[in-house]
Structure 1
Amino acid sequence: MAEFTQNAQRFDPYKNFKFRLKWDGQYVAGISKVSPLKRTTEVVPHRSGGDPSSSRKSPGRTEYEALTLERGVTHDLEFERWANKVWNFQAGPGVEVSLADFRKDLILEMFNEAGQVVLGYKVYRCWVSEFQALPELDANANAVAIQSIKLENEGWERDVDIPEPSEPTFTEP
């Protein structure tokens, strides 16, 4: 496990616009938005018959919220290829799902302003539950066409092997 040291020079929190996502050992091109990593643990109220008229609470099941990834429409087929592993209309009856490899583990990395990796999260056993190939098309609009995938997952954890970096400093000549 990595040892964390506090960067006494860093006052500002990290920004949310420098990140990269990796699956199958490769960075995925063009991802412009990732929904929050969020988990919720169910609250189970209980009380004993002899207790006063108040209940106790204990943790129940934990659910991990699906991730949504967005990127501009290009000729890159990574979103579509993965979505087709879960449901491929052209595959024929009985072979629509690629059970051997429709799940993937992801690595989400955040960077500081200097381009150094500062945080990483491993997201486990993801699969595509929703694929949007094209957005609504509008001849009167002036926007980038965005495609998206929604990824169900079975949990995530912080990559504690990523240490807080020593941030660069500039010296004057």
Structure 2
Amino acid sequence: MAQFTQNPNRLDPYKNFKFRVRFGNDVVAGVSKVGALKRTTEVVKHRDGGDFSSSRKSPGRTEYEAITLERGVTHDREFQNWARAAQAFNVVGSSPEQMGLGNFRKDIIIELYNESGQKVLAYKVYRCWVSEYQALPDLDANANAVALEHIKIENEGWELDESVTEPKEPDATPR
């Protein structure tokens, strides 16, 4: 049975250019690109003892791929500080203050907005930590580009935030 929504006239899918990333309640400034949310479930093959011709398949372990966040280089040190917390986690002889255990893992939220700026989807990503940090890209005097920093975030799963529902979009008919 078809599920009715608040906006049954919307036929177009949402665009991928209006989004926000949050570390807890704080919006991360300047994020221009977020990698895909992707999970893969292993296939476990098995065969019945009397069945010689075919195998059966069942789901195994699920893995969540790392997510990349990219933004222009500024004086905001949020990416660098989070990456440093993960780096210090395994340093032998680090004091608990240096290890940054309170900041090592974060839950993040990725929000998608419609053309009117209304939040339409949100995903909660759990127990994230930085496995790769790029402070500066290749620098090229002949290029015409923005300097970008990026972090690669490992995570232990994500889910759709069911509390975010489809909003009633504003009426765009001329008056």
TM-score normalized by structure 2? 0.91
> Residue in 1 aligned with 2:102?
100
Q: Tell whether 2:83 aligns with 1:83.
A: yes
> Residue in 2 aligned with 1:57?
57
The one-letter amino acid paired with 1:134 is L
State the 1:6 CA deviation. 4.7
Task: Summarize the Cα distance change of 1:4–1:135 in structure 2 as closer, same or farther, 3 Å threshold.
Answer: farther
Q: 2:167 aligns with which of 144, 165, 170?
A: 165
Cα distance in structure 2, aligned partners of 1:97 and 1:67: 23
Which structure has the highest helix share of the two? 2
Cα distance in structure 2, aligned partners of 1:143 and 1:167: 36
The residue correspondences of 1:20-169 to structure 2 (distance < 5 A) are 20-88=20-88, 93-95=93-95, 97-169=99-171
State the 1:56 CA deviation. 0.2
Please, which runs of 5 or more residues in structure 2 have no aligned partner? Answer: none
4+ residue stretches of structure 1 with deviation over 2 A? Answer: 3-6, 91-101, 170-173
Percent identical residues: 65
State the 1:57 CA deviation. 0.2
Residue 101 of structure 1 aligns to a residue whose secondary structure is helix
State the 1:88 CA deviation. 4.0
The one-letter amino acid paired with 1:145 is A
State the 1:87 CA deviation. 1.3
Cα distance in structure 1, aligned partners of 2:36 and 2:144: 27
Cα distance in structure 2, aligned partners of 1:57 and 1:157: 25
> Residue in 1 aligned with 2:12?
12
Task: Summarize the Cα distance change of 1:98–1:33 in structure 2 as closer, same or farther, 3 Å threshold.
Answer: same
Aligned length: 170
State the 1:86 CA deviation. 0.8
